[in-house]
Amino acid sequence: MRAIGDWNEQACVDPMLSIAIHDGWSRRWSHAGRLADYVATYFATYLRVVGARMQAEGGAFLAYAVNELVENAVKFGQGGQIEISASVVEDELVLRVASAAPSETAGRYLSVVEEIADGDPLVLFMERVERNAAEGPSAGSGLGLLTMMTDYGARLGWCFDGLDGEDCRVQTMARWPLAESS
């Protein structure tokens, strides 16, 4: 098992919401926006208690993050089950998406996320935008992940299990603070 970035295994325990998307769902990817909206709506009541800012911004973060992480799992996975879990842990919203990918694909993804975890998100974001403008959009650029970090202030972590085998379990965690930064 290899953990990268702000991965927190304890944040995966006892989720408030857990959804499994079974084999073949990727053919119906056009419905993912509804799934993302459902997760955001599910947490709306909790976020309303925390405050209006949390309800609006937390809902927007969850909708974007669910859509982005599930899209990545569909794009780079092997078409198998995708697991989504979400919870509030201490003072953070925690979203985790897990799927399986061929080890070769997971290895390329690992290279992208290592660069993101080790770099300055804003600098990397600008580099990706400029590169996409010059060369055209690139699948696997990490732009969606960087958007979560730069626009929403999310902390991201990844866990890769089984890189040496045929298939690798890839988990991505996005953590969003419930309190405003001071």
**Tens-digit pLDDT profile for residues 13-49:** 888 899 988 876 655 566 678 888 888 888 887 777 7
Stated pTM of the model = 0.89
CB 121 within 8 A of CB 113: no
| Nearest CA among 56, 75, 41 for reference residue 143 | 75
CB atoms within 10 A of CB 41: 12
Q: What is the pLDDT of residues 137-154, one digit of tens each?
A: 766 789 999 999 999 999
**Cα–Cα distance measured from residue 9 to residue 91, given in angstroms and rounded to the nearest whole number:** 16
Q: What is the pLDDT of residue 81?
A: 87
| CA nearest neighbour of 116 among 149, 70, 92, 159 | 149
Q: DSSP state, 134?
A: H
Distance CA 30, CA 10 (A): 32
Domain limits, the chain? 25-177
* pLDDT tens digits, 60-103: 899 999 999 988 888 888 778 899 999 988 888 999 999 999 99
User: pLDDT (tens digit, 9 = 90+) per residue, 155-166?
Assistant: 999 999 988 888
The CATH classification number of 25-177 equals: 3.30.565
Residue 109 · residue 100 · CB < 8 Å: no
| Phi, psi of 154, deg, nearest 5 | -75, 150
